[in-house]
Amino acid sequence: MLQRRKFLIILALVLVVALLFSLYLIVSRRGERTQAALTELRLTDLPVKVAKEAGMDLTVTAYEGGSIMTNYTGTIHFTSTDPSVTMPADYTYVLGDQGAKTFTLGLYFGSTGTYQIKVEDLTAVISDTQAGIVVFDGHANGSLVKTASAPEVYFIQNGMKSWVITPSVFSSRFSWSQVVIISNTEMSNYVSDSIEPSLHYREGTIFKRADMPEVYVIENKQKRHIDSPDTFFAKGYSWSNIVLAENQSVLDAHTDGADLTGASALPNGALIKTSSAPEVFMLESGSRRHLPSPAVFASQFRWQDVVIISPEAMNLYPIGSDYLFRMGTIIKDYDAGSIYFIEREKKRHFTSPMFYEGLGYSWDDYIVDDSTQILDGYAVGNSMYQLPKYIDVIGDTRSNPTAHQTMVNLMTNDKPYLVFHVGDLVNDGNSAGDWATFDSITGNLRYNTRYYPAIGNHEIASSYYEARFGTDKWYSMNIDNIHFIILDSNTSLASGSTQYNWLHADLDAASSARFTLVFFHHPPYTAGGLADAIALFEAHGVDIVFNGHTHLYARKVAAGIGTYYLITGGGGAPLASCPVAGYTTCTSSYEYVRLLLNNNQLELRAYDSSGTQIDTVDLPGV
């Protein structure tokens, strides 16, 4: 009996110990999962302003007290107030993360506005939120951007801008054909990259000041003095490799590294090949990375920077991974013909020529992939999207260059892709001086957009007008499913006239257009001889008729028809007084009109010379 009792006591103790150990394991594992010691999660690397659809890195770090919790193995979850955001999926940390995880290109905001991002531990009631992130219409990471009014060029990375400090720095990294012109508004939205606010010479660049003999090479962002001409030539360099720095500040931007001597290895960033083989490699961390195609090379390097070395020297460098396209490269698939934008390890498809042009790119900007296997190795990212496409309309810019310049400055800031002028561009159509003034005011705008004028009464029989804009007095075109018609109201539009017959046939053929817009100089409700044209416009459902000649802004709509008639004659000529007979809305000020095609709606906004909105109309499409 005693032995049985002892046995039961021992068994009970064993069971208690086992139970306590099991409870310990449960609590321990729950502690590992719930992180009872976790006191804080921190979101970092997010800017306060970021371009829509620009992929961003974000880092989430776990803290225990004030220290990083290196054994954190919890699961985190992201939420955002942007309904179209792309975020990382739920993630469970592993010990190898050491409590900190960076999600490369993990975040894309899909809508403009002001949003927040929240990260939370799924078990512990601990989270971090970054609010007030302003998302604006902008360009993707890797884009090179500048405004029309300033020389500075910036490189977009992580949704922010880095200044390319000088032309020589630019030429060591990029090609000028890759730069796109953006509006002042977009540029002002970018904040400077907190990690790399300015870009300097690329790794491996050979450079010197023009007025000094010393030659340097960049390695690990330091400048290494090449100690002698013998070393320079022994490394395979030639004088064509040298980039001339503009001033001492370019040199001072790099700290000093060790001299490059005859005994030194070629530096990181050096481009090498042998004389007997076509392959080119870039040195990085002691290995050679193959540039697998001429297209990859052309996206970021100069052929004169390649150094010829011996096969024996080449074999000293182990082969690393291939070196692929520079971020921001626009590449056309060799087989399929699709065009992509490279954003780090992802390729983003331009799904429409309209999107491609809307972002400011020309059809000379892409390179052709000469090896489809390279593009095939990229993950598919979000498709490239369309920036707002503005159409600006102005008229009667004669007489007051200052007012004209003010309006052009406002329009340039819109970065319109189309500009229409309803006539009276200059005061005297046969004055070389007037046209020189017009050119000086509109030169940048006309260079960076498509500019379509109608002939005003001040341009009749002007050879200067024809030299700039051609001899067609009336014409039409289809762009983005909008039908645009430009007429000459100095020439008869009466029924049976040549221009009337052409207009009738053109409107018949344009019946499927989403919107039809007409531009000419004289307002049909204040000028005679246009009743037949009005009947054609309204019978064919023309959406808006734009005119000038009267120097102000005015609007009316045809009752029961829906055709709008707008006078936008406040571009610089002496202002007229309101009211205007037959028009219900009138503002006597310098002004212009901006149109935005937004989904299936055409948004019209009129602005005065201060940039204040003075009228608004929204037209639903067919």
Can you give the CATH number for the domain in which 89 is found?
Answer: 2.60.40.3450
Neighbours of 537 (CB within 10 A): 24
Give the pLDDT band (50/70/90) at residue 6: low
In this structure, the answer to whether residues 538 and 433 fall within a common structural domain is: yes
Residue whose tokens read 């970092």 = 44
Domain-located, residue 365: yes
In this structure, the answer to whether residues 498 and 615 fall within a common structural domain is: yes
In this structure, the answer to whether residues 62 and 150 fall within a common structural domain is: no
In this structure, the answer to whether residues 355 and 464 fall within a common structural domain is: no
Give me the half-sphere count of Cα atoms (radius 13 Å) on the Cβ side of residue 16: 6
In this structure, the answer to whether residues 376 and 314 fall within a common structural domain is: yes
Concatenate the DSSP letters of all residues of 29-50 into one string: HHHHHH-TT--EEEEES--SEE
Cβ contact 505:536 at 8 Å: no
- Mean pLDDT calculated for residue range 190-196: 87
Residue whose tokens read 């331009």 = 350
Give the pLDDT band (50/70/90) at residue 381: confident
Domain-located, residue 15: no
Q: Is 257 exposed, middle or buried (0-12, 13-18, 19+ CB in 10 A)?
A: middle
- The domain containing residue 151 runs over which residues? 144-199
In this structure, the answer to whether residues 615 and 556 fall within a common structural domain is: yes
Give the pLDDT band (50/70/90) at residue 29: very low
Residue 367, helix vs strand vs coil: strand
Q: Which of 93, 114, 136 is the last residue of a domain?
A: 136
Q: Which of 114, 136, 158 is the last residue of a domain?
A: 136
User: Could you tell me the two tokens for 233?
Assistant: 């030539």
Residue type, 452: Y
Distance CA 268, CA 220 (A): 7
Express each pLDDT in 384-424 by its tens digit.
876 777 899 999 999 999 999 999 999 988 878 899 999 99
- Mean pLDDT calculated for residue range 282-305: 91
pLDDT in the model for residue 557? 94
In this structure, the answer to whether residues 187 and 52 fall within a common structural domain is: no
Looking at the predicted structure, is the pLDDT value of residue 83 above 80? yes
pLDDT in the model for residue 373? 76
Cβ contact 222:256 at 8 Å: yes
Give 547's contacts (C-beta < 8 A, 6+ positions apart). 395, 422, 489, 519, 520, 521, 522, 523, 524, 565, 566, 567, 568, 569
In this structure, the answer to whether residues 491 and 526 fall within a common structural domain is: yes
Cβ contact 159:141 at 8 Å: yes
Residue 404: give its domain's CATH number. 3.60.21.10
Domain-located, residue 411: yes
Domain-located, residue 240: no
Peptide bond into 620 cis (omega under 30): no
Residue 342, helix vs strand vs coil: strand
In this structure, the answer to whether residues 364 and 461 fall within a common structural domain is: no
Distance CA 476, CA 504 (A): 12
> Please, what's the b/e burial string for 133-150 (b: 16 or more CB within 10 A of its CB; e: otherwise)?
bebbbbbbbbbbbbbbee
Least confident window among 194-203, 210-219, 262-271: 194-203
Express each pLDDT in 345-380 by its tens digit.
889 998 877 678 778 888 888 888 877 678 888 888
Give the pLDDT band (50/70/90) at residue 45: confident
Looking at the predicted structure, is the pLDDT value of residue 107 above 50? yes
Looking at the predicted structure, is the pLDDT value of residue 599 above 90? no
Q: What angle do CA 407, 409, 411 make, to 5 degrees?
A: 70
Number of structural domains the chain divides into: 4
In this structure, the answer to whether residues 370 and 435 fall within a common structural domain is: no
Domain-located, residue 271: no
pLDDT in the model for residue 414? 80
pLDDT in the model for residue 151? 92
**C-alpha distances in Å from residue 28, one per residue of 13, 31, 32, 278:** 22, 5, 6, 60
- Mean pLDDT calculated for residue range 325-334: 89
Express each pLDDT in 488-522 by its tens digit.
999 999 999 999 999 999 999 988 888 999 999 99
The candidate with the shortest Cα–Cα distance to 453, out of 468, 443, 440, is 468
In this structure, the answer to whether residues 419 and 552 fall within a common structural domain is: yes
Cβ contact 186:138 at 8 Å: yes
In this structure, the answer to whether residues 99 and 151 fall within a common structural domain is: no
Q: Which of 136, 156, 171 is the last residue of a domain?
A: 136
pTM confidence score? 0.65
The candidate with the shortest Cα–Cα distance to 161, out of 328, 302, 42, is 328
Residue whose tokens read 């890195």 = 57
Residue whose tokens read 């990229």 = 378
pLDDT in the model for residue 14? 55
Residue 500, helix vs strand vs coil: helix
